[in-house]
């Protein structure tokens, strides 16, 4: 997989979103280059293997819409939509949705994704 295939596809929506936040991420796919980026997220970030996912990952154990990341207070909210499950900071996500601090490590299929919400919000 090339680096350009792993970069997020951001969809621009005409309707204003009440929640925007800056998110840093690092993708460690085990079999390819490590990718690090910072982006502005409007409402939520969908991680999965679907062409419509905001952050596309490849792998047999990755659902089309695997995980959704949203802003929550000063932290992050992670929602697991997959049938395969997701590890959050090394622990299986037991509930469908969990609120965390500003950063976390996800294991999505066999791809490690580190997320960190920036404190200064984008306007």
Q: What is the pLDDT of residues 63-115, one digit of tens each?
A: 999 999 988 777 788 899 999 999 998 988 876 677 777 888 999 998 999 99
Look up the domain containing 100 and give its range: 19-117
* CB neighbour list of residue 23: distance below 8 Å, 6 or more residues apart: 38, 39, 40, 41, 45, 69, 115, 116, 117, 118
Regarding beta strands 35-42 and 97-100, do their DSSP bridges make them parallel or antiparallel, or are they unpaired?
unpaired
Are 47 and 55 in contact, with CB atoms under 8 Å apart? yes
Whether this prediction's pTM lies above 0.85 is answered by no
- Please name every residue paired with 44 in a beta bridge, in sequence order, or none if there are none: 70
Residue 54 resides in a domain: yes
For residue 28, being part of any structural domain is answered with yes
Reduced to 3 states (helix: H, G, I; strand: E, B; else coil), residue 5 is helix
Place 13 in a pLDDT band, splitting at 50, 70 and 90. Answer: very low
26 is a domain residue: yes
Residue 123 resides in a domain = no
Residue 109 lies in a domain: yes
The answer to whether position 23 is within a domain reads: yes
What pLDDT is recorded for position 120?
A: 63
How does residue 9 score in pLDDT terms, banded at 50, 70 and 90? very low
User: How many domains does the chain divide into?
Assistant: 1
Indicate whether 92 belongs to any domain.
yes
Domain with residue 30: its CATH number is 2.60.200.20
Say which residue, 99 or 43, is predicted with more confidence.
43
Q: How confident is the model at residue 2 (pLDDT cuts 50, 70, 90)?
A: very low
Tokens 């997020």 found at: 8
pLDDT of res. 123: 46
User: CB–CB of 113/106 below 8 Å?
Assistant: yes
pLDDT tier at 32, thresholds 50, 70, 90: confident
DSSP characters over 13-80: -SS--S-EEEEEEEEE-SSS--EEEEEEEESEEEEESSTT-SEE---TT--TT-EEEEEETTEEEEEE
């Amino acid at each position: 997989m090339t680096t350009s295939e792993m970069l997020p596809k951001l969809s621009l929506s005409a309707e204003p979103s009440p929640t925007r936040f800056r998110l840093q991420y690092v993708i460690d796919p085990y079999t390819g280059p490590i990718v690090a980026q910072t982006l502005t997220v409007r409402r939520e970030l969908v991680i999965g293997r679907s062409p419509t996912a905001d952050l596309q990952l490849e792998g047999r154990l990755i659902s089309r819409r695997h995980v959704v990341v949203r802003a929550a207070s000063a932290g992050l909210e992670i929602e697991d939509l997959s049938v395969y499950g997701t590890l959050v900071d090394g622990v299986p996500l037991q509930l469908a949705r969990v609120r965390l601090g500003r950063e976390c490590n996800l294991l999505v299929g066999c791809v490690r994704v580190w997320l960190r919400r920036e404190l200064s919000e984008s306007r």
